[in-house]
Structure 1
Amino acid sequence: MILFALHTFSGTVTFHNWKAALMIYLLAWFSGFGVGLVFRAMRPWSPEVTRFVQQAYMRINMVASGKMFVANMVPGFIISMFDWNPLFHIVDQMHGAGFVNYFPHHTNWEYPLYVACGLLIIGLMAEFFTTKRASMSWDMGR
């Protein structure tokens, strides 16, 4: 929305590599879909714990996603604390696709893809297991 408004009013928005930016955007969506599917499969079994874990994951992701800093500018010991997060890789790769003079040195796009595929498989298996065994008398919270 911000980029659309900026483009509409000033007409100066250009991407260094818009195809890569689109693919990274879709990768972010796919990764979020996998995480959401796992949380959806967990919810009927323990709704309160799932809500707590989901809130904790969202809040940790705000700090550990790399939105607050540029990965190339921080020391290595800080990068090692955030390297587990697929969103950290996605944000840094998006910087590389969107800006001409930025080259991501500490992240790659393959890691979030593998994590998202793994989460999708786990989420689909858990959802199948849950739908076969969940009772209508449970409060599923859906």
Structure 2
Amino acid sequence: MNDGSFASACHNQARVLYALFLLEGQNRFARRAWGLFEELAGILIHVIGFSALRLMTGAVNHRGMPVIPFLVSGVFLYWMFKTTMVPVSNFHASKSRYVAHPRVTQLDVLLARAAVNIGLYLCVSLGTFYFLILIGLSAPIYNLGLVIVILLLGGVWGLGIGLVLGGLFSLLPIFRTTSSGFLRLVMYTSGIFFVWPEVPYALRPFVIYNPFFHLAEKMHSAYFEVYDSAVASWDYIICWIVLTFTLGLVVERRCRSMNHRERRPDEDASYAMDML
């Protein structure tokens, strides 16, 4: 393949991904307008619940960090991960609307959906952080650039985990019923509402191996000037994200042909790629 053909292929692939990004964004906001509010309501419920537990114990400040922004920063990071992972793991529904266009692969659709979700929650997270600053519930963000990077890493890791789980669900559908338990285990050991000094010594050998805990510790260190995690490791975080994403790409490629054989055209296929 010569350089001109490679550049042309890259250009066409970029056009496909851009069109899919617009279509998936339109589908998310136009067809499920209340879906976003339901997700935000879930975040609010968790923040209120965890804040109430803290306030009832008299912990207005969490080791120098105001309890509400402490919880909000952690919960938004977890929601970035979760809401990216869940739609990506649904391989069977990924390309049903695009069967009329052979240039679109299952991976293209999954990447577009992940990009839409990451962009959405990045904007919502930063908007919420600055709203808390505006009303006086939070101090200014200590390292805004690093906070943005950590949120993006949470989304990318959710994409990688989603690809791995999507393959697992395709091969062994029974595991889909246990995924909620996996998510709860990740959340309650992730450090979104506690920091390392508060972890009981009996649980530390388990919590320290949760990569999301390291990511949450880095989030709190980046958001608050008064906290610097003594255990969070960038090497551990990046290693997990790279390995998970690589494994996810391999699993998705292995399952792509199987899902393609099982897929059926639906009524939306006729207009799917009008923007290409």
How does the TM-score come out when normalised to structure 1?
0.83
Alpha-carbon distance between aligned partners in 1 of 2:169 and 2:181, rounded to the nearest angstrom: 15
Match of 2:215 in 1: 90
Alpha-carbon distance between aligned partners in 1 of 2:226 and 2:136, rounded to the nearest angstrom: 22
Query: Which deviates the most, 127-136 or 113-122?
Result: 127-136
| 1:68/1:127 CA distance change after superposition, 3 Å | same
Query: Which deviates the most, 37-46 or 98-107?
Result: 37-46
Does the 8 Å CA contact 1:16/1:97 hold for their aligned counterparts? yes
Alpha-carbon distance between aligned partners in 1 of 2:134 and 2:154, rounded to the nearest angstrom: 25
Deviations 1:19-78 (A, max 9, x none): 1211111111111111111111222212222x1342121010121101231113335443
Matches within 5 A, 1:1-142: 1=124, 2-10=128-136, 13-49=139-175, 51-134=176-259, 136-137=261-262
Per chain length, whose mean CA-contact separation is higher, i.e. which structure has more relative contact order (CA < 8 Å, sep 6+)?
Answer: 1
| 1:130/1:115 CA distance change after superposition, 3 Å | same
Match of 2:70 in 1: none
Query: Which deviates the most, 89-98 or 18-27?
Result: 18-27
How does the TM-score come out when normalised to structure 2?
0.45
How many residues are paired up?
Answer: 138
Shift of 1:138: 7.4
> Structure 2: which amino acid aligns with 1:25?
L
Alpha-carbon distance between aligned partners in 2 of 1:11 and 1:105, rounded to the nearest angstrom: 26
Deviations 1:82-132 (A, max 9, x none): 112111000011111111111100111221211111011111101111113
Does the 8 Å CA contact 1:72/1:104 hold for their aligned counterparts? no
| 1:137/1:5 CA distance change after superposition, 3 Å | same
Alpha-carbon distance between aligned partners in 2 of 1:11 and 1:134, rounded to the nearest angstrom: 48
Query: Which deviates the most, 1-10 or 31-40?
Result: 1-10
Extract structure 1 runs of 4+ deviating beyond 6 A: none
Alpha-carbon distance between aligned partners in 2 of 1:11 and 1:95, rounded to the nearest angstrom: 16
Does the 8 Å CA contact 1:44/1:138 hold for their aligned counterparts? no
Q: CA RMSD in A?
A: 2.3
Larger radius of gyration: 2
Q: Which runs of 5+ in 2 are unaligned?
A: 1-123, 265-276
Task: Identify, as 1 or 2, the structure richer in helix.
Answer: 2
Shift of 1:79: 2.3
